[in-house]
Amino acid sequence: MAGGVGSPGRAQIPWRTLRGDRWWFPPAVTFTLIVLWLLYALVRTSMQRDYFVATYHYLTPFYSPCVTASCHPDARHVGTWLGEMPPLVPYAFFLLPILLGFRLTCYYYRKAYYRAFWLSPPACAVAEPHAKYTGETRFPLILQNAHRYFFYAAVVVSGMNTLDAFDGFHGKDGGVGVGLGTIVMLTNAAFLWLYTLSCHSCRHLIGGRLKHFSKHPLRYRAWTIVSRLNTRHMQLAWTTLGTLLVTDLYIALVASGALTDLRFYN
Amino acid sequence: MSYDAKFRVWRGDASGGELVDYTVEVNDGEVVLDIIHRLQATQSGDLAVRWNCKAGKCGSCSAEVNGIPRLMCMTRMSTFTETETVTVTPMRAFPVIRDLVTDVSFNYEKARQIPAFAPPEGVARGEYRMQQVDVERSQEFRKCIECFLCQNTCHVVRDHEENKEAFAGPRFLIRAAELDMHPLDARDDRADFARDEQGIGMCNITKCCTEVCPEHIRITDNGIIPMKERVVGKRYDPLVWLGNKIGRRKP
Ligand code: SF4
Ligand code: SF4
Ligand code: FES
Ligand code: FES
């Protein structure tokens, strides 16, 4: 504390904060939820099973795109690009770093983990425990500036998840069918789009970077819509963690036979 | 309705000080600043406090109430229970002068460093014409009352005195954004300035400035993050660099 609120010249107050409310609660919740989610994702991606419901073509987002020779043949609806996967290696191993990178460099998640994991700061007006601080000016955190590239990739990934959801309109007899799983996958894809489009980089690129909106009416319209979504970016970040988990869990349960899919048509 | 409230107020100066306990009358509809004034009037005539408008518009009465940076004149006593002790201290990021009064000259130094509004060449004063859609974004930042609560709360300088030199603070990052987004500001180096001189890279977008701003300016979302994106565009994005080189891309 010596270099911060305890610096010479400042009002000498021996406590790191005088906040009496439960300021530690929100970061504790964020920490717990993110750790639980990551553990779930780690277990599920390395399981190499229960990721596909062949009868209805439900593919979990955690294994999409399924393009290795180890994938169920019907799950490879975008082709087979790679050979057999050794045990424990996630089938979508090449895509997961991109997804992780997108969320790790996301302006909202940055706030969340800087506060909850790095305690920098743990909450507002609560002194942080670190003696030195350089923010995002140096390696590795300077790499946060690459966020827009992850955004471009995330657009492609959202597209892929949408394709998977359409593939989920698959009935028992091979024709068109709709089940609860289809709805779950569609909902997930829709929220992934909302999250991706509400991104701050998207807001900048689509129009925010312009100086004169009046000269670009269409981009101004687009910017207004993205800006409106952007105010919900945090909520969408959490909602998509939820929809991803629910989608994967539902497909895992149906694929393992623990649950039968609720069918609306075929 | 009135009751006796327990107050703890920091008294002292740069050489030292402590929290002093008071019991003081509180009436319906009062704010923390009223109570501080009553202390001044009835119990400690030498209690130093800075204020002007009592309407949340001059930005003078910034302090910390129960550890949270706030305007004393906009903090209603009805937000506390009658039994609760209300602790009032000066802002903890700036040098203290006496009691609740701090020396905020750090902020004036940072303000002076920003290159002034620069209209395009040939456009004289009185000839400024612009469209509302173009100037709208800048206007949000004009609501700032310079209370410096955001500057006080920002952990970059609050928790690291040594960063004061390199970091301008949220209030002046939104000043940079205000000018960079302004339709009639002709300078094209605002983002470079934000990176090189104002230390925008030190902000880790944890949003405490936004949380405490009494004008509800969306400092981080509408000012700092767009500014960071502009810095990326100018300094870190190879595609933009290439686009500019071959002249295919204009702001
Ligand atoms: S968002 Fe940035 S400028 Fe605002 S308080 Fe946090 S670190 Fe400081
Ligand atoms: S931006 Fe808000 S908190 Fe900061 S000085 Fe202006 S009014 Fe105060
Ligand atoms: S995805 Fe969160 S800011 Fe880009
Ligand atoms: S006295 Fe002017 S803002 Fe409080």
Phi, psi at residue A48, to the nearest 5°? 60, 30
Tell me the pLDDT tens digit for each residue of B176-193: 999 999 999 999 999 999
Question: Which of A52-56, A200-204, B191-195, B235-239 has the weakest average pLDDT?
Answer: B235-239
What is the rounded average pLDDT of the residues A107-112?
Answer: 98
Predicted pLDDT of residue A79? 86
Residue B191: inside a domain, yes or no?
A: yes
- The two tokens of residue B1 are 């309705």
Nearest by CB to residue A133, choosing from B131, B156, B229, is B156
- Are B169 and B208 members of one domain? yes
Buried (b) or exposed (e) across B54-67, using 16+ Cβ within 10 A?
A: bebebbbbbbbbbb
Residue B250: inside a domain, yes or no?
A: no
Bridge partner list, B64? B69, B89
Residues B23 and B240: their CA atoms lie apart, in Å, by 62
Atom in ligand 4 nearest the alpha carbon of residue B145: 3
CB contact under 8 A, B156 and A135: yes
- Are B94 and B197 members of one domain? no
Predicted pLDDT of residue B243? 79
- The two tokens of residue B98 are 């006496």
Predicted pLDDT of residue B150? 98
Span from the CA of A188 to the centroid of ligand 3 (angstroms): 17
What is the rounded average pLDDT of the residues A164-170?
Answer: 96
What is the rounded average pLDDT of the residues A73-80?
Answer: 88
Task: Determine how many CB atoms are found less than 10 A away from the CB of residue B81.
Answer: 8
Span from the CA of B74 to the centroid of ligand 3 (angstroms): 34
The residues, any chain, with a CB within 8 Å of residue B126's CB and separated by 6 or more, are none
Residues B108 and A32: their CA atoms lie apart, in Å, by 42
Residue A165 pLDDT greater than 80, yes or no: yes
Residue B241 pLDDT greater than 90, yes or no: no
What is the rounded average pLDDT of the residues A66-81?
Answer: 89
Residues B155 and B212: their CA atoms lie apart, in Å, by 13
Pairs across A and B, CB distance < 8 A: 157
What is the rounded average pLDDT of the residues A102-110?
Answer: 98
Predicted pLDDT of residue B101? 98
Chain A residues in contact with B96 by the CB 8 A cut-off are: 9-11
Residue A1 pLDDT greater than 60, yes or no: no
- Are B15 and B135 members of one domain? no
The whole-chain average pLDDT of chain A stands at: 95
- Are B16 and B53 members of one domain? yes
Predicted pLDDT of residue B250? 55
Task: Determine how many CB atoms are found less than 10 A away from the CB of residue B72.
Answer: 25
% pLDDT > 90, chain B: 93
The residues, any chain, with a CB within 8 Å of residue A152's CB and separated by 6 or more, are none
Fill in the amino acid letter for A220: Y
- The domain total for chain B is 2
Range of the domain at B77: 2-102
B221 touches chain A (CB under 8 A): yes
The label of the residue with tokens 């000080």 reads: B17
Span from the CA of B136 to the centroid of ligand 1 (angstroms): 23
- Of the listed ligands, the closest to the CA of B212 is 2
Predicted pLDDT of residue B244? 76
- Are B76 and B186 members of one domain? no
Tell which of B75, B102, B129 closes a domain: B102
Span from the CA of B52 to the centroid of ligand 2 (angstroms): 16
Predicted pLDDT of residue A2? 64
Burial of A115 (0-12, 13-18, 19+ CB in 10 A): buried
Predicted pLDDT of residue A78? 83
Predicted pLDDT of residue B248? 63
Query: Is B205's C-beta closer than 6 angstroms to any atom of ligand 1?
Result: yes
Angstrom distances, CA of residue A217 to CA of A200, A221, A227: 20, 6, 15
- Are B15 and B110 members of one domain? no
Residue B198: inside a domain, yes or no?
A: yes
Chain A residues in contact with B64 by the CB 8 A cut-off are: 18, 125
Residue B26: inside a domain, yes or no?
A: yes
Nearest by CB to residue B96, choosing from A11, A120, A211, is A11
